[in-house]
Amino acid sequence: MNSAQEPGAAGTPAAEEAAIRVLVVDDHPVVRDGLRALLDRAAGLAVVGEAADGVEAVRRALALRPDVVLMDLRMPGGDGVTAIRALAEQGSRARVLAMATYDGDGDVLPALQAGATGYLLKDAEPPEVVRAVRAAARGETALAPTAAGRLVGSLRTPRAASAGTDQPLSEREIEVLALVARGHNNRETARSLFISEATVKTHLLHVYAKLGVNDRAAAAAVAHDRGLLGRRE
């Protein structure tokens, strides 16, 4: 099995230090080569290493300290979900983007539950991959648009559908909800927060799931009732 490449191909150490540092994990060398070429061409991104399985991914992530790990989920010799869980348990600060072959992959939900920031499909367009890596580095959730709604729905339990979950809203989710409660549409919210409309939609999906509601008006009402929006001016 091919092993990861060490830093150097992406540019000088100084350039890598200033860029978003990415570790690419996939058992297929062709896929790793393609992702490296794509990300190294993007401004502000640098691939600092590669790994061919989950065990190697954990070792290299702890050694190289990347900002983002692109993690294939299905690999012989160490699967991605186990690696994501191991990174979380060992205190890695890297954001992990799981990579799935199709949006019905049964490993996607376990990957998110294990600590992945989001997931991409392997047939994603290059600009989508670059945007997702940058969003993950900022701590934002990045989900494949074609399956985001269905995936968030699958995360909801019957109790959550009527009463919400016990998960608190993130700071960014509160920011989005506060603007929505004031009547801002997705475009206006995105412009105010300097994020994309797709990111706004993803945050709202998470808000709906956490609050146990299905629309913007209900989310705003529940948030006001719980005093969530009172945290911000």
Supply the CATH number for residue 201's domain: 1.10.10.10
Same domain membership, residue 79 and residue 27: yes
DSSP category for residue 214: S
Q: How far apart are CA 170 and CA 88, in angstroms?
A: 18
Q: From 144, 174, 199, give the residue that closes a domain.
A: 144
Q: Are residues 130 and 64 in the same domain?
A: yes
The DSSP line for 47-115 is EEEEESSHHHHHHHHHHH--SEEEEES--TTS-HHHHHHHHHHTT---EEEEEESSTT-TTHHHHHHHT
Is 3 a domain residue? no
Same domain, 129 and 218: no
Same domain, 131 and 180: no
Mean of the per-residue pLDDT values of the chain: 80
Query: Which range of residues forms the domain containing residue 73?
Result: 13-144
Residues 30 and 129 in one domain: yes
Give the CATH number of the domain where residue 49 resides.
Answer: 3.40.50.2300
Residue 137 has pLDDT above 60, yes or no: yes
Residue 64 falls inside a structural domain: yes
Query: Residues 163, 196: one domain?
Result: yes
Residues 76 and 166 reside in one and the same domain: no
Is pLDDT at 3 greater than 70 in this prediction? no
pLDDT, one tens digit per residue, over 34-51 is: 999 999 999 999 999 999
Mark whether 136 and 161 lie in a shared domain: no
pLDDT tens, position by position, 73-131 = 989 888 899 999 999 889 899 999 999 876 555 677 788 778 888 888 888 889 989 99
| Inter-helix orientation angle 171-181/197-211, to 10° | 100
Distances (CA, A) of 176 to 95, 140, 226: 21, 12, 16
From the list 174, 198, 170, 171, the residue with the least C-alpha distance to 186 is 198
Q: Which residues contact 88 (CB under 8 A, 6 or more apart)?
A: 114, 115
Residue 6: pLDDT band with limits 50, 70, 90: very low
The answer on 138 and 76 residing in a single domain is yes
Say if residue 43 is in the same domain as residue 124: yes
Is residue 49 situated within a structural domain?
yes
* pLDDT score, position 154: 52
What mean pLDDT is predicted for residues 43-64? 95
pLDDT in tens, 145-166: 554 545 545 544 444 444 455 6
For 180-199, the pLDDT digits (tens) are 888 888 888 999 999 888 88
Domain boundary among 92, 117, 144: 144
